[in-house]
Amino acid sequence: HLPTAELQALDAAHHMHPFTANGELAQKGVRVITRAKGVTLTDSEGHEILDAMAGLWCVNVGYGREELADVAARQMRELPYYNTFFQTTHVPAIALAAKIAELAPGDLNNVFFAGSGSEANDTNIRMVRHYWAMKGKPTKSILISRKNAYHGSSVGSGSLGGMSGMHAQGGLPIPDIHHINQPNWWAEGGDATPEDFGLACAQELEQAILELGEDRVAAFIAEPIQGAGGVIVPPATYWPEIQRICDKYEILLIADEVICGFGRTGAWFGSETMGIRPDIMTIAKGLSSGYAPIGGSIVSDEVASVIAQGEFNHGYTYSGHPVAAAVALENLRILEEEKIVERVKTVTAPYLKEKWEALVAHPLVGEANIIGMMGSITLTPNKSTRAAFAAEAGTVGYICRERCFANNLVMRHVGDRMIISPPLVITEAEIDTLIARATTSLDECLAQIEA
C-alpha cells in the first residue's frame, strides 16, 4: 500500500470519519490499520496493537478467521444477493433465523433482520407502536429509554439514545421518546448505597409511566449493561425492579443486546446474565463478529403473532442479506463448536475479573467494574469522594487513551472512564499483556497530569 503519510493525506482530503472532529484528526494524522489476527491489529507502520475493544465491541471470535472468509466467498458465488421482501427468501436467512431462535431464551422465536443495530432499533420503534395499534391501543406510542444510552445513529435510534451531544445536532429526538436516569452509581449515586440508588433509578420508570400515562407508554428499552455509555454495571436491585414495573404496566421490554449479545457477558445474551425476560432483543455486532454488517430484532411469539395479522410496512434492502447471513451463521457455529461462550464464563472472564479489579490499587482508579468480557475503570483525583477532575470531563480519559495507544493497546475512553471489550477468544497470556500495558499507560497518564 501507499506510504502512511500519503494514506493520511488522502484520508484527510476525502474521508469524513464518524464521531470524530475531522479537522483535528487531519492535524493529528489518522492511524491506518492494515491487518489483524486473533486479538492483534497491525498498523501501516508495523506496530502490533492489542485490541482490547474487539473493534467496536464486535469481533467476538477474533480476527483472521479463514472459515468466515471462505463462507462469504462461497455465498457470493452461489447467491450474492436476493431479498426477503414479499414472498421470497433464501437459505442463509432461513437457517440464520432458525439458529437465532434456537439460541435465544424463552419465546423469542422470531427474527426481523436489518443491516445494523441502528436499523434494528428503528425497526423496534415502529414495531412496538404498530403492535399496540394492532391490539387496539394506538395511544401507546411512547418509548422510554435512558440518559446517556447509545442505541445507534439513525434519526430513530439516535432519539432512543440519550446522548446529549447527539441530541444537540440535527433535530433529535423525534416525538414520543422519553429518557430517565441511568444507574451510574459512581457518578450520580451521591450518598445512597448502590442498592438503594439502583432501586431508585428503576423506580423512575414507574414514575415516568404514571406521569406520561399508562395508556401512552409502549415500551422501555435498555442495554442489560450499558456499553458505550461507559460499561455501567447496574446495582443488583435495578433489573428485577424494572422487570416488575414492565410486567405490572404491560410495557414491552426491549433489551438492546447489540453489545451484550453473543457471549460478551459470559452467557449467550446479557438478558440471561441480568435475569430479565425481554419481549424484543436488538442484535448486531457479535452476531457476525463484525465480519459482515448485519443486525436484527428477536421478537417474542406474542408480539410476532400480532404483527403477523397484517402487513408490517417496514424493511431494508439488506434485511437478511445472504452473504451477511451466511457469515453470521458460520460465526455462531464457531462460537458454539469452540465453546467460546462457556470458556468466557468459566475461564477467561474470572481470570480477567481478578486482574481488572486489582487495577483499583492504582492511584488514578476509583472503581473497576466488569461482567464477562466488558469492563470499565473510573479515573478520579479522589477515590473517597468519587470526585471528578477539575479539567473538562474526558480530558484525563483522552490522555490515558493516547498513552494506551502509544503502548500498543486499544482501550476506549468515555469521559474519564476507560473501557474494554476484548475479543472473547483472548488468552490468559494476552490478558496479562493487556493489564501490563494498561498499568504502564495509567502510570504515564498520572505522570503527565501531575507534570
Task: Give the residues lining the site for ligand PLP (CB under 6 A).
Answer: 56, 116-118, 121, 150-152, 223, 227-228, 256, 258-259, 284, 295
Non-local (6+) Cβ contacts of 185 within 8 A are: 192, 194, 197, 198, 235
Using the minimum distance from each CB to ligand PLP, give the nearer residue, 281 or 307: 281
How far is 271 from 291, CA to CA, in rounded Å?
Answer: 24
Using the minimum distance from each CB to ligand PLP, give the nearer residue, 399 or 414: 414
Using the minimum distance from each CB to ligand PLP, give the nearer residue, 227 or 234: 227
What phi, psi does 62 have (nearest 5°)?
85, 165
Using the minimum distance from each CB to ligand PLP, give the nearer residue, 92 or 117: 117
| Least distance between ligand PLP and beta carbon 20 (Å) | 15
How far is 380 from 228, CA to CA, in rounded Å?
Answer: 19
CB distance 321 to 72 below 8 Å: no
Using the minimum distance from each CB to ligand PLP, give the nearer residue, 132 or 316: 316
Non-local (6+) Cβ contacts of 366 within 8 A are: 186, 360, 377, 378, 379, 380, 383, 386
| Least distance between ligand PLP and beta carbon 58 (Å) | 8
Residue nearest to ligand PLP (CB): 117
| Least distance between ligand PLP and beta carbon 8 (Å) | 25
| Least distance between ligand PLP and beta carbon 390 (Å) | 30
| Least distance between ligand PLP and beta carbon 259 (Å) | 5
Using the minimum distance from each CB to ligand PLP, give the nearer residue, 128 or 396: 128
> Could you write out the three-class secondary structure of 241-294?
HHHHHHHHHCCEEEEECCCCCCCCCCCCCHHHHHCCCCCEEEECHHHCCCCCCC
Using the minimum distance from each CB to ligand PLP, give the nearer residue, 206 or 223: 223
Q: C-alpha grid cell for residue 68?
A: 468466515
CB distance 85 to 315 below 8 Å: yes
How far is 151 from 121, CA to CA, in rounded Å?
Answer: 7
Q: C-alpha grid cell for residue 183?
A: 444507574
| Least distance between ligand PLP and beta carbon 150 (Å) | 5
| Least distance between ligand PLP and beta carbon 152 (Å) | 4
